[in-house]
Amino acid sequence: MRKSFLAILSLILVLGLLAACTNKEEAGQEDKKEKGGATTIRIVMKDDNSSNPVSEKYYDAIEKGLLEDENIKVNFELVDLPQGNYAEKLNLLLNSGDIPDMIYFQGGDQAMADQGLLEDLRPYIKESKYLKDIVHPFNEKRLENYPYLLWIKPLAPKVPVIRGDWFNKMETSKALMENPTVDNYYAFFKELVKKQPGGDKPKYAITVAGDIAEIDYMFDMAFGIDKTWLQKEDGSYEYARVSKQQKEKLEFYNKLYKEGLLDPQYLTKQWDTKEKAFFDGEAAIIPGTAGKVIDIYEGKMLQVSGEEASLVMLPPAKGEYQGFGATDVTKESRGIAVSANSENKELVFKILDYMASPEGQMIDRFGFEGDHYNVVDGKLQLTDKYYSEWFARFWEPADYTPATPVDETTPLLSETAEKSLQSAEEYYAEDNSFIIPEEYVANWDAMQNLYMEFTTDIITGKRPISDFDKFVKEWNEAGGEQITELANKNLR
């Protein structure tokens, strides 16, 4: 009896295992059927990779949305890049001959465009269903000059922010906000470090990531640098970085560095270590990209230091001019491109167009229900997780009204982030830069490297400011004379 029972039990187990395997195989075949009818689109994006569960969930949501809303079957394949400088790693990938269908560039795109490897997006935009209605005027100008990159975002200069509890303790705060001259900024910086409102912190007034580009947004126009090419009294143009205005600004930066107001380790800072110094209280002020980045900074600061630390945006320095710098309309400095060699160019653009639709915008702007928002009484209530981590991978049109309204108690952007975008619009001015022709690119790159090396040496005190004339001479000899002649032909 016992042997018979064991035999029957063994048979039941075997049959159960066979049934489970059959079901699993059938489920796998069903999955293959679903994937089988889909076109694989390879995509490389700076902040997304195949090992990130949020990235996987996000692109799965787009796949589902495309199928339900547009009857388009796609399967996204995220192309991973090694850790390190994104532009450099992307360049290595593309030069190896591995060119994804959809590519996010943050530099390095022009060499690919010059080889005919990027698709002209203008015909697609003209025939688009949604994109043509959200392109900003400055996007249109950039596309006419350089039709290979698309990046529909609000104007986003780097704007300086400081935690509110420190700002409110400063005696110089009022004067700075009412009249943000370079002298008043200097006094504010001095008081920040002297008072040390965080106990033994901040160690310095401001930090930036690696070079002076971020701090230039604050001070360039105050020193009279309102365009890339400055017009002199005789009507001719000179490059702003070799002007007397630049010399005066570098002298000011050297003073900040020498007195410990500018982070002495700014040269080695990356974006993450810059932000860490801010949230740890080592640096009082950091420049951040207007809009959503400021929102993320706000969310993180509130988590770390409480409600009193809510961020305050500081104004651009005021002098000969005031603003966060002129807007370059020659081309997008970053953005999404479509491979000219892709077999699925039309489909890739349909995806880009879908991300501008009401349904695509819901996915892109708000993230995942239950994580980044909840629907309560017919309105979207955004969560702390939304403010601290979510960002739109694709488009952020200026005039956006979501299909489901956002609850007034959890606005799409914080007050500080909204103010940063309004300030960008308020101080908008077009630049007069132009795309450097291919035959001058190598010289231009060498000249920019010379400029970076010299400015670093001046700011850190390795060379005296009196060496500025030597730098101008070296810059002209490296190709500056020819490009200045070209600028005067183009701008007159």
**Which amino acid is located at 202 in the chain?**
P
- Would you state the pLDDT for residue 25? 44
**Matching residue, tokens 């889909």:** 38
Across all residues in the chain, what is the average pLDDT?
89
Residue 400 phi/psi, 5-degree rounding, is: -120, 125
- Would you state the pLDDT for residue 194? 85
CB atoms within 10 A of CB 492: 9
CB atoms within 10 A of CB 252: 18
Residues 195 and 259 in one domain: yes
SS3 readout for the chain: CHHHHHHHHHHHHHHHHHHHHHHHHHHHHHHHHHHHCCEEEEEECCCCCCCCHHHHHHHHHHHHHHHHHHCCCEEEEECCCCCCCHHHHHHHHHHCCCCCCEEEECCCHHHHHHCCCECCCHHHHHCCCCHHHCCCHHHHHHHHHCCCCECCCCCCCEEEEEEHHHHCCCCCHHHHHHCCEHHHHHHHHHHHHHHCCCCCCCCEEECCCCCCHHHHHHHCHHHCCCCCEEECCCCCEEEHHHCHHHHHHHHHHHHHHHCCCECCCHHHCCHHHHHHHHHCCCEEEEEEECCHHHHHHHHHHHHHHCHHHCEEECCCCECCCECCCCECCCCCCCEEEEECCCCCHHHHHHHHHHCCCHHHHHHHHHCCECCCEEEECCEEEECHHHHHHCCCCCCCCCCCCCCCCECCCCCCCCHHHHHHHHHHHHCCCECCCCCCCHHHHHHHHHHHHHHHHHHHHHHCCCCCHHHHHHHHHHHHHHHHHHHHHHHHHHHC
C-alpha 25 chain-centroid distance: 44
Percentage of the chain exceeding pLDDT 90: 75
Q: Is the confidence at residue 23, as pLDDT, over 80?
A: no
CA distance 305 to 308: 8
Q: Is the confidence at residue 266, as pLDDT, over 50?
A: yes
Residues 146 and 168 in one domain: no
Q: Which tens digits make up the pLDDT trace of 141-181?
A: 999 999 999 999 988 899 999 999 999 999 999 999 999 99
Query: What spatial distance separates the first Cα and last Cα of the chain, rounded to whole Å?
Result: 106
Last residue of a domain, one of 326, 343, 365: 326
Q: What is the mean pLDDT of residues 308-325?
A: 96
Residues 50 and 175 in one domain: no
Domain assignment of residue 449, yes or no? no
Q: What is the mean pLDDT of residues 19-42?
A: 57
Residues 190 and 320 in one domain: yes
Q: What is the mean pLDDT of residues 69-84?
A: 93
Q: Which tens digits make up the pLDDT trace of 329-358?
A: 999 999 999 999 999 999 999 999 999 999
Domain assignment of residue 479, yes or no? no
Domain assignment of residue 110, yes or no? yes
Q: Which tens digits make up the pLDDT trace of 185-208?
A: 999 999 999 865 555 579 999 999
Are 364 and 66 within 8 A, CB to CB? no
Question: Band of the pLDDT at 362, cuts 50, 70, 90?
Answer: very high
Residues 357 and 383 in one domain: yes
Instruction: Give the strands of the sheet with 158-163, arranged side by side.
Output: 204-206, 283-289, 158-163, 311-313
Q: Is the confidence at residue 6, as pLDDT, over 50?
A: no
Residues 94 and 230 in one domain: no
State the pairing for strand pair 283-289/158-163: antiparallel
Contacts 24+ apart (CB under 8 A), 479-482: 479/440, 479/443, 479/444, 479/446, 479/447, 480/239, 480/242, 480/447, 482/440, 482/443
Residues 83 and 203 in one domain: no
**CA nearest neighbour of 267 among 207, 211, 205, 214:** 211
Residues 371 and 388 in one domain: yes
Are 380 and 404 within 8 A, CB to CB? yes
Residues 270 and 302 in one domain: yes
Domain assignment of residue 388, yes or no? yes
Domain assignment of residue 269, yes or no? yes
Residues 210 and 286 in one domain: yes
Domain assignment of residue 30, yes or no? no
Q: At 94, which CATH number?
A: 3.40.190.10
Q: How many domains does the chain fold into?
A: 2
Q: Which tens digits make up the pLDDT trace of 206-260?
A: 999 988 999 999 999 999 999 999 999 999 999 999 999 999 999 999 999 999 9
**CA nearest neighbour of 217 among 159, 173, 259:** 159
Domain assignment of residue 1, yes or no? no
State the residue range of the domain holding 305. Answer: 158-326
Last residue of a domain, one of 401, 434, 461: 401
Instruction: Give the strands of the sheet with 74-78, arranged side by side.
Output: 74-78, 39-44, 102-105, 335-338
Q: What is the mean pLDDT of residues 29-35?
A: 42
Helix 358-366 × helix 53-70 angle, to 10°: 170
Percentage of the chain exceeding pLDDT 70: 91
Residues 177 and 249 in one domain: yes
Ramachandran region, residue 77 (left: φ > 0; alpha: ψ -120 to 50; beta: rest): beta
Residues 96 and 182 in one domain: no
- Would you state the pLDDT for residue 441? 87
Q: Is the confidence at residue 123, as pLDDT, over 70?
A: yes
Q: Is the confidence at residue 34, as pLDDT, over 80?
A: no
Q: What are the residues whose beta carbons fall under 8 Å from the beta carbon of 279, sequence distance 6 or more? A: 300, 301, 304, 305
Question: Band of the pLDDT at 387, cuts 50, 70, 90?
Answer: confident
Residue 46 phi/psi, 5-degree rounding, is: -60, -45
Are 366 and 375 within 8 A, CB to CB? no
C-alpha 123 chain-centroid distance: 26
**Which amino acid is located at 32 in the chain?**
K
Question: Band of the pLDDT at 73, cuts 50, 70, 90?
Answer: very high
Burial (CB count <10 Å: 0-12, 13-18, 19+), residue 364: buried
Q: Which tens digits make up the pLDDT trace of 170-182?
A: 999 999 999 999 9
Last residue of a domain, one of 298, 326, 354: 326
Domain assignment of residue 307, yes or no? yes
